[in-house]
Protein backbone atom coordinates (compact mmCIF):
# COMPACT_ATOMS: atom_id res chain seq x y z
CA UNK A 1 0.00 0.00 0.00
CA UNK A 2 1.40 3.38 -0.98
CA UNK A 3 0.46 6.51 0.89
CA UNK A 4 2.09 9.74 1.96
CA UNK A 5 0.69 9.26 5.43
CA UNK A 6 -0.36 6.02 7.08
CA UNK A 7 -3.14 6.46 9.63
CA UNK A 8 -4.05 4.00 12.36
CA UNK A 9 -6.96 3.60 14.71
CA UNK A 10 -6.87 1.75 18.02
CA UNK A 11 -9.97 -0.03 19.33
CA UNK A 12 -9.89 -1.27 22.92
CA UNK A 13 -12.64 -3.65 23.96
CA UNK A 14 -13.99 -4.31 27.43
CA UNK A 15 -16.66 -3.06 29.84
CA UNK A 16 -13.96 -2.79 32.51
CA UNK A 17 -12.26 -0.05 30.46
CA UNK A 18 -15.43 2.00 30.11
CA UNK A 19 -16.24 2.01 33.81
CA UNK A 20 -12.67 2.73 34.85
CA UNK A 21 -12.15 -0.58 36.65
CA UNK A 22 -9.09 -1.15 34.45
CA UNK A 23 -6.96 1.71 33.12
CA UNK A 24 -6.27 1.53 29.39
CA UNK A 25 -2.48 1.57 29.13
CA UNK A 26 -2.53 -0.42 25.87
CA UNK A 27 -3.60 2.49 23.67
CA UNK A 28 -0.87 4.79 24.95
CA UNK A 29 1.86 2.21 24.46
CA UNK A 30 0.65 1.19 20.99
CA UNK A 31 0.36 4.83 19.92
CA UNK A 32 3.91 5.60 21.04
CA UNK A 33 5.36 2.61 19.21
CA UNK A 34 3.43 3.26 16.01
CA UNK A 35 4.40 6.91 15.99
CA UNK A 36 8.07 5.96 16.31
CA UNK A 37 7.60 3.77 13.24
CA UNK A 38 6.05 6.56 11.16
CA UNK A 39 2.38 5.64 11.58
CA UNK A 40 0.03 8.42 12.68
CA UNK A 41 -2.72 7.71 15.19
CA UNK A 42 -5.99 8.99 13.77
CA UNK A 43 -8.34 7.89 16.56
CA UNK A 44 -8.51 5.88 19.76
CA UNK A 45 -11.83 4.27 20.61
CA UNK A 46 -13.01 2.25 23.61
CA UNK A 47 -16.10 0.06 23.37
CA UNK A 48 -17.81 -2.37 25.71
CA UNK A 49 -18.38 -6.08 25.30
CA UNK A 50 -21.37 -5.44 23.04
CA UNK A 51 -21.60 -7.02 19.61
CA UNK A 52 -23.14 -4.10 17.73
CA UNK A 53 -20.80 -1.55 19.27
CA UNK A 54 -17.72 -3.55 18.29
CA UNK A 55 -19.08 -4.13 14.78
CA UNK A 56 -19.87 -0.44 14.32
CA UNK A 57 -16.43 0.53 15.60
CA UNK A 58 -14.78 -1.72 13.00
CA UNK A 59 -16.88 -0.14 10.24
CA UNK A 60 -16.27 3.41 11.43
CA UNK A 61 -12.53 3.15 12.03
CA UNK A 62 -11.91 1.53 8.64
CA UNK A 63 -13.23 4.77 7.10
CA UNK A 64 -10.47 6.78 8.76
CA UNK A 65 -7.45 4.48 8.97
CA UNK A 66 -5.29 2.14 6.91
CA UNK A 67 -4.44 0.07 9.99
CA UNK A 68 -6.88 -0.85 12.74
CA UNK A 69 -5.43 -2.37 15.91
CA UNK A 70 -7.82 -4.12 18.31
CA UNK A 71 -7.10 -5.28 21.87
CA UNK A 72 -9.27 -7.25 24.25
CA UNK A 73 -12.06 -9.80 24.22
CA UNK A 74 -9.99 -12.87 23.28
CA UNK A 75 -10.20 -14.74 26.58
CA UNK A 76 -11.94 -18.06 27.29
CA UNK A 77 -15.03 -16.73 29.11
CA UNK A 78 -18.51 -15.97 27.81
CA UNK A 79 -18.03 -12.20 27.83
CA UNK A 80 -15.05 -12.46 25.47
CA UNK A 81 -16.92 -12.08 22.18
CA UNK A 82 -14.30 -10.52 19.91
CA UNK A 83 -13.09 -13.66 18.13
CA UNK A 84 -16.48 -15.03 16.98
CA UNK A 85 -17.51 -11.51 15.98
CA UNK A 86 -14.37 -11.06 13.88
CA UNK A 87 -14.99 -14.43 12.29
CA UNK A 88 -18.45 -13.27 11.21
CA UNK A 89 -17.27 -9.77 10.24
CA UNK A 90 -14.64 -11.13 7.85
CA UNK A 91 -16.78 -13.99 6.55
CA UNK A 92 -14.88 -16.98 7.89
CA UNK A 93 -15.41 -20.00 10.09
CA UNK A 94 -13.54 -21.08 13.21
CA UNK A 95 -10.90 -23.80 12.83
CA UNK A 96 -8.30 -25.20 15.20
CA UNK A 97 -4.80 -23.86 14.69
CA UNK A 98 -2.45 -26.68 15.64
CA UNK A 99 0.44 -24.45 16.67
CA UNK A 100 -1.83 -22.42 18.94
CA UNK A 101 -3.27 -25.64 20.40
CA UNK A 102 0.17 -26.96 21.26
CA UNK A 103 0.99 -23.63 22.87
CA UNK A 104 -2.11 -23.82 25.09
CA UNK A 105 -1.33 -27.39 26.13
CA UNK A 106 2.29 -26.54 26.86
CA UNK A 107 1.38 -23.57 29.06
CA UNK A 108 -1.08 -25.61 31.13
CA UNK A 109 1.26 -28.57 31.51
CA UNK A 110 4.49 -26.69 32.22
CA UNK A 111 3.41 -23.57 34.06
CA UNK A 112 -0.12 -23.84 35.40
CA UNK A 113 -0.13 -27.48 36.47
CA UNK A 114 -3.88 -27.84 36.14
CA UNK A 115 -6.20 -29.66 33.74
CA UNK A 116 -7.32 -28.15 30.47
CA UNK A 117 -10.95 -27.15 30.18
CA UNK A 118 -12.93 -27.12 26.96
CA UNK A 119 -12.98 -23.32 27.07
CA UNK A 120 -9.17 -23.29 27.18
CA UNK A 121 -8.91 -25.56 24.15
CA UNK A 122 -11.27 -23.28 22.25
CA UNK A 123 -8.69 -20.52 22.50
CA UNK A 124 -6.76 -22.35 19.77
CA UNK A 125 -9.68 -21.82 17.38
CA UNK A 126 -9.21 -19.00 14.89
CA UNK A 127 -11.06 -17.74 11.80
CA UNK A 128 -9.86 -19.50 8.68
CA UNK A 129 -9.59 -16.14 6.88
CA UNK A 130 -6.91 -14.67 9.15
CA UNK A 131 -3.16 -14.86 9.50
CA UNK A 132 -2.52 -16.27 12.96
CA UNK A 133 -0.19 -14.38 15.29
CA UNK A 134 1.18 -16.84 17.81
CA UNK A 135 1.16 -15.76 21.43
CA UNK A 136 4.53 -16.47 23.05
CA UNK A 137 3.36 -15.02 26.37
CA UNK A 138 -0.14 -16.45 26.77
CA UNK A 139 -2.83 -18.74 25.40
CA UNK A 140 -4.90 -16.49 23.12
CA UNK A 141 -3.46 -16.13 19.59
CA UNK A 142 -3.69 -12.86 17.71
CA UNK A 143 -5.22 -12.47 14.26
CA UNK A 144 -4.47 -10.37 11.19
CA UNK A 145 -7.19 -9.69 8.58
CA UNK A 146 -7.37 -7.79 5.29
CA UNK A 147 -10.56 -6.17 4.03
CA UNK A 148 -11.04 -3.62 1.27
CA UNK A 149 -7.38 -2.62 1.39
CA UNK A 150 -7.38 -2.12 5.18
CA UNK A 151 -5.41 -4.17 7.71
CA UNK A 152 -7.01 -5.26 10.98
CA UNK A 153 -4.95 -6.79 13.78
CA UNK A 154 -6.59 -8.26 16.87
CA UNK A 155 -4.51 -8.91 20.00
CA UNK A 156 -5.19 -9.88 23.63
CA UNK A 157 -5.98 -7.13 26.11
CA UNK A 158 -3.37 -8.35 28.61
CA UNK A 159 -0.62 -5.70 28.20
CA UNK A 160 2.28 -8.15 28.53
CA UNK A 161 0.86 -10.38 25.80
CA UNK A 162 -0.11 -7.49 23.51
CA UNK A 163 3.37 -5.98 23.74
CA UNK A 164 4.91 -9.31 22.79
CA UNK A 165 2.82 -9.52 19.62
CA UNK A 166 3.49 -5.91 18.73
CA UNK A 167 7.24 -6.33 19.19
CA UNK A 168 7.56 -9.75 17.53
CA UNK A 169 5.03 -9.47 14.72
CA UNK A 170 3.37 -6.11 14.08
CA UNK A 171 6.18 -3.57 14.31
CA UNK A 172 8.73 -5.56 12.25
CA UNK A 173 6.16 -6.02 9.45
CA UNK A 174 4.97 -2.42 9.17
CA UNK A 175 7.62 -1.47 6.54
CA UNK A 176 6.45 -4.46 4.45
CA UNK A 177 2.78 -3.49 4.80
CA UNK A 178 3.09 0.24 4.16
CA UNK A 179 5.29 2.86 2.55
CA UNK A 180 6.12 4.64 5.77
CA UNK A 181 7.41 8.15 6.30
CA UNK A 182 10.35 8.68 8.61
CA UNK A 183 9.48 10.36 11.91
CA UNK A 184 12.05 12.07 14.14
CA UNK A 185 11.42 13.17 17.73
CA UNK A 186 13.80 15.09 19.99
CA UNK A 187 12.70 15.74 23.56
CA UNK A 188 14.07 17.65 26.52
CA UNK A 189 12.80 18.03 30.07
CA UNK A 190 12.56 21.38 31.89
CA UNK A 191 11.75 22.24 35.51
CA UNK A 192 11.12 25.35 37.55
CA UNK A 193 9.27 27.23 34.81
CA UNK A 194 5.57 27.07 33.96
CA UNK A 195 4.20 26.16 30.55
CA UNK A 196 2.97 29.69 29.76
CA UNK A 197 6.26 31.31 30.79
CA UNK A 198 8.15 28.69 28.79
CA UNK A 199 6.01 29.42 25.74
CA UNK A 200 6.61 33.15 26.08
CA UNK A 201 10.35 32.61 26.42
CA UNK A 202 10.71 30.61 23.21
CA UNK A 203 7.92 32.20 21.15
CA UNK A 204 10.33 33.53 18.51
CA UNK A 205 11.96 30.10 18.15
CA UNK A 206 8.55 28.44 17.84
CA UNK A 207 7.18 30.94 15.31
CA UNK A 208 10.25 30.45 13.10
CA UNK A 209 9.89 26.66 12.87
CA UNK A 210 9.29 25.19 9.39
CA UNK A 211 5.71 24.07 8.80
CA UNK A 212 6.63 20.38 8.86
CA UNK A 213 8.31 20.69 12.29
CA UNK A 214 6.03 20.77 15.34
CA UNK A 215 6.77 21.71 18.94
CA UNK A 216 4.69 20.05 21.67
CA UNK A 217 4.41 21.06 25.34
CA UNK A 218 3.90 18.19 27.79
CA UNK A 219 3.49 19.57 31.35
CA UNK A 220 3.43 17.48 34.53
CA UNK A 221 3.90 18.50 38.20
CA UNK A 222 6.44 21.29 38.01
CA UNK A 223 8.09 20.00 34.85
CA UNK A 224 7.46 20.47 31.15
CA UNK A 225 8.71 18.24 28.38
CA UNK A 226 9.29 19.87 25.02
CA UNK A 227 9.20 17.65 21.95
CA UNK A 228 10.26 18.58 18.44
CA UNK A 229 8.75 16.34 15.76
CA UNK A 230 9.25 16.23 12.00
CA UNK A 231 8.37 13.70 9.32
CA UNK A 232 9.46 13.12 5.76
CA UNK A 233 10.77 10.56 3.32
CA UNK A 234 14.46 11.30 3.85
CA UNK A 235 15.44 10.15 7.35
CA UNK A 236 18.96 11.55 7.15
CA UNK A 237 17.74 14.99 6.07
CA UNK A 238 15.04 15.41 8.71
CA UNK A 239 17.30 14.00 11.45
CA UNK A 240 19.89 16.64 10.66
CA UNK A 241 17.29 19.38 10.45
CA UNK A 242 15.65 18.50 13.77
CA UNK A 243 19.05 18.05 15.38
CA UNK A 244 20.08 21.58 14.46
CA UNK A 245 16.82 23.03 15.79
CA UNK A 246 17.15 20.97 18.97
CA UNK A 247 20.56 22.44 19.68
CA UNK A 248 19.11 25.94 19.29
CA UNK A 249 16.26 25.07 21.66
CA UNK A 250 18.67 23.76 24.29
CA UNK A 251 20.78 26.90 24.08
CA UNK A 252 17.73 29.00 24.92
CA UNK A 253 16.78 26.84 27.90
CA UNK A 254 20.09 25.88 29.50
CA UNK A 255 19.18 27.24 32.93
CA UNK A 256 15.90 25.28 33.20
CA UNK A 257 16.77 22.11 31.28
CA UNK A 258 16.94 18.91 33.34
CA UNK A 259 18.00 16.52 30.59
CA UNK A 260 18.15 16.67 26.78
CA UNK A 261 16.71 13.20 26.26
CA UNK A 262 13.25 11.68 26.41
CA UNK A 263 13.85 10.31 29.89
CA UNK A 264 12.09 10.59 33.21
CA UNK A 265 13.51 12.51 36.13
CA UNK A 266 14.44 9.29 37.91
CA UNK A 267 16.24 8.10 34.79
CA UNK A 268 18.20 11.38 34.71
CA UNK A 269 19.23 10.84 38.34
CA UNK A 270 20.24 7.25 37.62
CA UNK A 271 22.23 8.29 34.57
CA UNK A 272 24.39 10.85 36.39
CA UNK A 273 24.97 8.49 39.33
CA UNK A 274 26.03 5.73 36.93
CA UNK A 275 28.33 8.03 34.96
CA UNK A 276 30.02 9.19 38.17
CA UNK A 277 30.11 5.77 39.81
CA UNK A 278 28.21 7.07 42.86
CA UNK A 279 25.56 5.57 45.13
CA UNK A 280 22.35 6.85 46.69
CA UNK A 281 20.08 6.11 49.64
CA UNK A 282 16.73 7.57 50.73
CA UNK A 283 15.04 8.46 54.00
CA UNK A 284 11.32 9.04 53.49
CA UNK A 285 8.51 9.96 55.81
CA UNK A 286 5.60 11.66 54.04
CA UNK A 287 6.23 9.96 50.66
CA UNK A 288 6.09 6.48 52.19
CA UNK A 289 8.75 4.97 49.93
CA UNK A 290 7.53 6.57 46.70
CA UNK A 291 10.95 8.06 45.90
CA UNK A 292 12.56 4.64 46.29
CA UNK A 293 9.81 3.18 44.10
CA UNK A 294 10.58 5.67 41.31
CA UNK A 295 14.30 5.00 41.51
CA UNK A 296 13.95 1.22 41.50
CA UNK A 297 11.50 1.27 38.58
CA UNK A 298 14.54 1.83 36.34
CA UNK A 299 16.36 -1.30 35.11
CA UNK A 300 19.89 -1.45 36.49
CA UNK A 301 19.14 0.82 39.45
CA UNK A 302 20.72 -1.69 41.83
CA UNK A 303 24.12 -0.44 40.66
CA UNK A 304 23.58 2.96 42.28
CA UNK A 305 20.56 2.77 44.62
CA UNK A 306 21.49 0.83 47.74
CA UNK A 307 18.30 1.17 49.78
CA UNK A 308 15.93 3.36 51.72
CA UNK A 309 14.24 3.78 55.07
CA UNK A 310 10.56 4.67 55.40
CA UNK A 311 10.66 6.43 58.76
CA UNK A 312 6.95 7.14 58.91
CA UNK A 313 6.74 6.94 62.68
CA UNK A 314 9.00 9.13 64.79
CA UNK A 315 10.40 6.09 66.62
CA UNK A 316 11.85 4.85 63.32
CA UNK A 317 13.37 8.25 62.63
CA UNK A 318 15.01 8.12 66.05
CA UNK A 319 15.99 4.44 66.30
CA UNK A 320 16.99 3.72 62.70
CA UNK A 321 17.95 7.09 61.20
CA UNK A 322 19.32 8.38 64.53
CA UNK A 323 17.36 11.62 64.56
CA UNK A 324 17.71 13.20 68.00
CA UNK A 325 14.64 12.82 70.15
CA UNK A 326 15.13 16.39 71.35
CA UNK A 327 14.99 17.62 67.75
CA UNK A 328 11.57 16.11 67.17
CA UNK A 329 10.33 17.26 70.58
CA UNK A 330 11.51 20.83 70.05
CA UNK A 331 10.94 21.55 66.33
CA UNK A 332 8.85 18.59 65.15
CA UNK A 333 9.18 15.85 62.56
CA UNK A 334 8.43 18.30 59.74
CA UNK A 335 11.41 20.58 60.13
CA UNK A 336 14.72 21.52 58.59
CA UNK A 337 16.65 19.98 61.47
CA UNK A 338 14.82 16.64 61.21
CA UNK A 339 15.32 16.12 57.46
CA UNK A 340 18.97 17.18 57.81
CA UNK A 341 19.51 14.43 60.36
CA UNK A 342 17.44 11.92 58.34
CA UNK A 343 19.65 12.46 55.28
CA UNK A 344 22.80 12.15 57.37
CA UNK A 345 21.46 9.02 59.04
CA UNK A 346 20.56 7.30 55.76
CA UNK A 347 23.93 8.13 54.22
CA UNK A 348 25.81 6.76 57.22
CA UNK A 349 23.56 3.73 57.67
CA UNK A 350 23.88 2.59 54.05
CA UNK A 351 27.36 3.99 53.32
CA UNK A 352 26.29 5.88 50.20
CA UNK A 353 27.76 8.89 48.45
CA UNK A 354 24.43 10.75 48.44
CA UNK A 355 21.18 10.66 50.38
CA UNK A 356 17.84 12.41 50.01
CA UNK A 357 15.31 12.84 52.83
CA UNK A 358 11.74 14.20 53.00
CA UNK A 359 9.26 14.92 55.76
CA UNK A 360 5.97 16.75 55.35
CA UNK A 361 2.20 16.94 55.80
CA UNK A 362 0.40 15.46 52.79
CA UNK A 363 -3.17 16.01 54.04
CA UNK A 364 -6.02 16.23 54.06
CA UNK A 365 -5.55 16.40 57.83
CA UNK A 366 -2.61 16.95 60.16
CA UNK A 367 -1.79 20.58 59.47
CA UNK A 368 -1.45 23.37 62.01
CA UNK A 369 -1.38 27.15 61.78
CA UNK A 370 2.42 27.08 61.89
CA UNK A 371 2.72 24.06 59.59
CA UNK A 372 -0.31 23.85 57.29
CA UNK A 373 -1.10 20.90 55.04
CA UNK A 374 1.38 20.89 52.17
CA UNK A 375 4.41 21.87 54.23
CA UNK A 376 7.42 19.78 53.22
CA UNK A 377 11.11 19.84 54.11
CA UNK A 378 13.67 18.21 51.80
CA UNK A 379 17.35 17.50 52.45
CA UNK A 380 20.06 16.24 50.14
CA UNK A 381 23.43 15.19 51.46
CA UNK A 382 26.74 14.52 49.76
CA UNK A 383 30.38 14.09 50.64
CA UNK A 384 31.03 17.50 52.13
CA UNK A 385 27.69 19.20 52.73
CA UNK A 386 23.96 18.84 53.27
CA UNK A 387 21.40 21.24 51.82
CA UNK A 388 17.79 21.72 52.89
CA UNK A 389 14.77 23.31 51.27
CA UNK A 390 11.19 24.02 52.34
CA UNK A 391 8.45 23.69 49.74
CA UNK A 392 4.67 23.96 49.79
CA UNK A 393 2.57 21.48 47.82
CA UNK A 394 -1.07 22.28 47.18
CA UNK A 395 -2.91 19.28 45.78
CA UNK A 396 -4.78 16.31 47.17
CA UNK A 397 -2.80 13.65 49.03
CA UNK A 398 -1.56 11.44 46.19
CA UNK A 399 -0.53 14.38 44.02
CA UNK A 400 1.21 15.95 47.01
CA UNK A 401 3.24 12.76 47.44
CA UNK A 402 4.12 12.69 43.75
CA UNK A 403 5.00 16.38 43.69
CA UNK A 404 7.18 16.04 46.78
CA UNK A 405 9.07 13.16 45.18
CA UNK A 406 9.53 15.20 42.00
CA UNK A 407 10.89 18.21 43.87
CA UNK A 408 13.21 16.00 45.95
CA UNK A 409 14.67 14.32 42.86
CA UNK A 410 15.08 17.68 41.11
CA UNK A 411 16.94 19.05 44.11
CA UNK A 412 19.08 15.91 44.26
CA UNK A 413 19.93 16.07 40.55
CA UNK A 414 21.01 19.71 40.81
CA UNK A 415 23.02 18.93 43.93
CA UNK A 416 24.88 16.05 42.25
CA UNK A 417 25.62 18.16 39.17
CA UNK A 418 27.01 21.00 41.25
CA UNK A 419 29.16 18.64 43.29
CA UNK A 420 30.38 16.97 40.11
CA UNK A 421 31.20 20.38 38.58
CA UNK A 422 33.10 21.31 41.75
CA UNK A 423 35.31 18.24 41.41
CA UNK A 424 36.19 19.23 37.87
CATH class of 6-177: alpha beta
Angle at 182 between CA 180 and CA 188, to 5 degrees: 140
pLDDT of residue 3: 44
pLDDT of residue 109: 81
Q: Is residue 2 over pLDDT 50?
A: no
User: Rounded CA gap, 74 and 86, in Å?
Assistant: 11
- The number of C-alpha atoms within 13 Å of 400 and in the hemisphere containing its C-beta is 23
Q: Is residue 221 over pLDDT 50?
A: yes
pLDDT of residue 4: 58
User: Rounded CA gap, 106 and 227, in Å?
Assistant: 45
Q: How confident is the model at residue 120 (pLDDT cuts 50, 70, 90)?
A: confident
Nearest to 259 by CA among 308, 307, 188: 188
pLDDT of residue 405: 97
Contacting residues for 59 by C-beta, under 8 A, at least 6 apart: none
User: Rounded CA gap, 68 and 8, in Å?
Assistant: 6
Least confident of 112-126, 238-252, 276-290, 340-354: 112-126
Helix or strand run (H / E) with residue 23? none
Backbone φ and ψ for 170, nearest 5 degrees, come out as -70, -55
- Give CB contacts under 8 A, 24+ apart, made by 290-293: 290/401, 290/402, 290/405, 291/356, 291/358, 291/405, 291/408, 291/409
pLDDT of residue 424: 65
Highest mean pLDDT among 98-107, 170-179, 314-323, 412-421: 314-323
Give mean pLDDT, residues 244-271: 96
pLDDT of residue 350: 98
Q: Is residue 16 over pLDDT 50?
A: yes
pLDDT digit string, tens, across residues 337-390: 999 999 999 999 999 999 999 999 999 999 999 999 999 999 999 999 999 999
CATH number given to 182-259 = 3.30.70.2860
Give mean pLDDT, residues 141-154: 97
Alpha carbon distances (Å) from 22 to 1, 19, 26, 157: 36, 8, 11, 11
Q: Is residue 134 over pLDDT 50?
A: yes
Contact 405, 383 (CB under 8 A): no
Nearest to 231 by CA among 187, 180, 189: 180
Q: Is residue 423 over pLDDT 80?
A: no
Q: Is residue 1 over pLDDT 50?
A: no
- To the question of pTM greater than 0.85 for the whole model, the response is no
Give the 3-state secondary structure of residue 419.
Answer: helix
Q: Is residue 128 over pLDDT 90?
A: yes
Q: How confident is the model at residue 290 (pLDDT cuts 50, 70, 90)?
A: very high
CATH of 265-423, one of 3.30.70.3340, 3.30.70.940, 3.30.2080.10, 3.90.950.20: 3.90.950.20
Give the domain ranges of the chain.
Answer: 6-177, 182-259, 265-423
For the chain, what is the mean pLDDT? 94
pLDDT of residue 311: 98
Least confident of 157-161, 243-247, 357-361, 420-424: 420-424
Give mean pLDDT, residues 10-38: 94
Contacting residues for 344 by C-beta, under 8 A, at least 6 apart: 322, 355, 381, 386
C-alpha R_g of the chain: 26
Q: What percent of the chain has pLDDT over 70?
A: 99
Q: Is residue 217 over pLDDT 90?
A: yes
Alpha carbon distances (Å) from 75 to 140, 142, 158: 7, 11, 10
Amino acid sequence: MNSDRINASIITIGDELLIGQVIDTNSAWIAQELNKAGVWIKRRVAVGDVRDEIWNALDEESKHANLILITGGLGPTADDITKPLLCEYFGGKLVVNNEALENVKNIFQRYLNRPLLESNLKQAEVPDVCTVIQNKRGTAPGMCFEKQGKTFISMPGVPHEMKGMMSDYVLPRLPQMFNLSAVVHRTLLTAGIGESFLSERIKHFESALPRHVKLAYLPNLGMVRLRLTASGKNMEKITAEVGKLFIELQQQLQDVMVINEDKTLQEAVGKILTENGKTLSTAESCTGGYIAHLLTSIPGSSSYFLGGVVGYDNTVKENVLLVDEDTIDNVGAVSEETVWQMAQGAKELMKTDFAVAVSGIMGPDGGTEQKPVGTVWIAVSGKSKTLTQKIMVRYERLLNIQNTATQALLMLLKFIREEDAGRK
